């Protein structure tokens, strides 16, 4: 009996990783270097808007404009600084460039962060309809490290945030994002992600976590083609002899039964969903898997700034890779 089990395990061939090669390595290498080539200067516009000039509301008066707080938080995210270190960094820049503007206190940065409104994400405006890929990843707020969990298990005191991203697979840029608690499902954030996108959307690609009827109904109202993998135990809702218009999910299930799930993925180009995972990897590589801010409101602002930084990095250049023939 044991020999039969071993024989079956040997017959199962391991999936070999397909090797890729980058065509534009020279240009891509320069773009990677450019990400660290940062020059600081204060433009006349920034100096004029550094102090708050709007109408003062009740409470403590505002001294600094939004551009000052945004600058401080951007520097903090780029270098993973604490609030006190951020204050010292900006103080050194102002002193070095001999600019006559005040330095905000670290408590002011923290207090103003929650009410800060980050402008729309920078991305290239498309002339035609675009394809959107959605996915989510976890950001740990409180909990043990991976070594402790593997060694001794995890405790009950663990807290996570969920970062939901909508990616343009053709440009690699982040079109929209949301940050929620871990209790929010992926499908619940689809309307919020789509509402922030100004381009015309042709299709939306997502994994089985988005295989819920609320997502399909919302995409149907927006006239967006869903490219969502049905769950393994998915069942057809409308019979084939029904006079009503067939549901896309039912048609996908029928096609999967006919040609297989792997061939279905290749037919509908489902594999471009992996580009969302690439964006998650870039986010965690640059900013880590743990937010710097402590409250959820501040963490949302931090995530918006981080996404803007990643879009700026993407504009410098992307790799053009191709499969190597076996």
310 occurs within a structural domain:
yes
Distance from C-alpha of 172 to C-alpha of 170, rounded to nearest angstrom:
6
> Do residues 148 and 221 share a domain?
yes
> Do residues 257 and 166 share a domain?
yes
Number of folded domains that form the chain: 2
Render pLDDT for 90-100 as a digit per residue (tens, 0 to 9): 999 999 988 99
What percentage of the chain exceeds 70 in pLDDT? 87
Q: Is the pTM of this model over 0.75?
A: yes
Distance from C-alpha of 67 to C-alpha of 6, rounded to nearest angstrom:
65
What's the mean per-residue pLDDT of the chain? Answer: 86
Quick one: pLDDT band at residue 177, thresholds 50, 70, 90? Answer: very high
Question: With the C-alpha atoms ordered 113, 276, 183, 157, is the resulting torsion angle positive or negative?
Answer: negative
Whether the per-residue pLDDT at 8 is higher than 60: the answer is no
9 occurs within a structural domain:
no
**Is 169 or 2 the better-scoring residue by pLDDT?**
169
21 occurs within a structural domain:
yes
Whether the per-residue pLDDT at 249 is higher than 80: the answer is yes
**Is 271 or 326 the better-scoring residue by pLDDT?**
271
186 occurs within a structural domain:
yes
> Do residues 306 and 241 share a domain?
no
> Do residues 285 and 153 share a domain?
yes
251 occurs within a structural domain:
yes
Task: Name the residue range of residue 311's domain.
Answer: 17-117+299-326
Whether the per-residue pLDDT at 4 is higher than 60: the answer is no
> Do residues 90 and 233 share a domain?
no
Kindly state the tokens that stand for 144.
């043990």
Q: The domain spanning residue 156 has which CATH number?
A: 3.30.420
How big is the chain by its Cα radius of gyration, in Å? 24
**Is 125 or 326 the better-scoring residue by pLDDT?**
125
């Amino acid at each position: 009996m044991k020999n039969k089990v071993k024989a079956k395990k040997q017959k199962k061939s391991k999936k070999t990783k397909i090797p890729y090669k980058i065509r534009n390595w020279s240009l891509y290498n320069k773009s990677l270097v450019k990400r660290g080539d940062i020059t600081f200067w204060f433009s006349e516009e920034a100096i004029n808007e550094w102090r708050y000039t709007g109408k003062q509301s009740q409470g403590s008066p505002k001294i600094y404009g939004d551009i000052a707080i945004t600058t401080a938080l951007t520097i903090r995210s780029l270098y993973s600084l604490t609030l006190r270190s951020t204050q010292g960094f900006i103080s050194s820049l102002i002193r070095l460039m001999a600019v006559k503007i005040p330095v905000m206190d670290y408590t002011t940065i923290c207090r103003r962060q929650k009410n800060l409104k980050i402008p729309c994400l920078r991305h290239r405006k498309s002339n035609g309809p675009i394809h959107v890929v959605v996915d989510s990843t976890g950001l740990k707020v409180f909990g043990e490290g991976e070594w402790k969990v593997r060694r001794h298990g995890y405790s009950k005191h663990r807290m996570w945030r969920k970062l939901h991203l909508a990616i343009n697979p053709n440009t690699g840029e982040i079109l929209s994002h949301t940050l929620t608690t871990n209790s929010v499902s992926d499908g619940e954030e689809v309307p919020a992600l789509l509402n922030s996108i100004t381009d015309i959307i042709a299709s939306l690609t997502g994994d089985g976590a988005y295989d819920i009827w609320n997502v399909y109904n919302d995409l149907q109202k927006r006239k967006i083609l869903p490219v969502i993998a049905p769950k393994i135990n998915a069942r057809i809702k409308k019979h084939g002899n029904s006079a009503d218009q067939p549901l896309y999910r039912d048609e996908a299930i029928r096609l999967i039964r006919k040609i297989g799930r792997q061939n279905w993925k290749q037919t509908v180009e489902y594999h471009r969903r992996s580009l969302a995972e690439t964006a998650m990897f870039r986010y965690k590589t640059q900013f880590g898997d743990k937010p710097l801010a402590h409250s959820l409101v501040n963490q949302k602002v931090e995530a918006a700034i981080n996404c803007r930084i990643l879009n700026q990095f993407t504009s410098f250049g992307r790799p053009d890779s191709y499969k190597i023939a076996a």
